[in-house]
Amino acid sequence: MRSDSIKRGIEKAPHRSLLRALGFIDQELERPMIGVVNSFNEIVPGHMHLNDIAGAVKAGVRLAGGTPVEFPAIAVCDGIAMNHSGMKYSLASRELIADSIEVMAEAHQFDGLVLVTACDKVVPGMLMAAARINIPAIVISGGPMLAGRFRGQNVSLSNLFEAVGRVRAGAMTEEELCELEEATCPGCGSCAGMFTANSMNCLTEALGMALPGNGTVPAVSSARRRLAKLTGIRAVELVREGLRPSDILTMRAFENGLAVDMALGCSTNTVLHLPAIASEAGLEIDLDMINRISERTPNLCKLSPMGPHFMQDLDEAGGIPAVMAELSKKNLLHLDLPTVSGKTAGRIIEGRKVIRPEVIRSVEDPYSPSGGIAILRGNLAPGGAVVKKAGVDPEMLVHSGPARVFNSEEEAVEALIAGKIKKGDVIVIRYEGPRGGPGMREMLTPTATVMGLGLDKDVALITDGRFSGATRGASIGHVSPEAADGGPIAAVREGDIIDIDIPGNAINVRIGNEEMEARLREWKRPEPRVKKGYLVRYAGLVTSASTGAVLRRG
Residues classed as catalytic: 468
CA atoms in the 13 A half-sphere facing the CB of 349: 24
Query: Nearest to residue 92, comparing CAs of 429, 490, 541?
Result: 541
126 forms bridges with which residues in the sheet?
none
Pairing of strands 475-480, 381-387: antiparallel
Give the separation between CA 544 and CA 8, rounded to whole angstroms: 45
Whole-Å CA distances, 142 to 44, 90, 303, 308: 12, 19, 19, 23
Measured in degrees and rounded to the nearest 5, phi and psi for residue 71 equal: -145, 160
Give the separation between CA 481 and CA 535, rounded to whole angstroms: 19
Would you say 215 and 202 are in contact if contact means Cβ atoms under 8 Å apart?
yes
CA-CA-CA-CA torsion sign (78, 84, 90, 91)? positive
CB-based contacts of 290, cutoff 8 Å, min separation 6: 258, 271, 373, 375
ω into residue 305 within 30 of 0, thus cis?
A: yes
State the DSSP code for 360: S
368 forms bridges with which residues in the sheet?
299
426 forms bridges with which residues in the sheet?
403, 460
Four-CA torsion 347, 351, 356, 362, nearest 10 degrees: 80
442 forms bridges with which residues in the sheet?
466
Give the separation between CA 408 and CA 413, rounded to whole angstroms: 9
Transcribe 45-82 into DSSP letters. TTTTTHHHHHHHHHHHHHHTT-EEEEEE-----HHHHT
Angle 532-538-542 (CA atoms, 0-180°, nearest 5)? 150
Measured in degrees and rounded to the nearest 5, phi and psi for residue 194 equal: -85, 65
Give the separation between CA 214 and CA 126, rounded to whole angstroms: 15
Residue 202: which H helix or E strand, with range?
A: helix 196-207
CB-based contacts of 415, cutoff 8 Å, min separation 6: 404, 406, 421
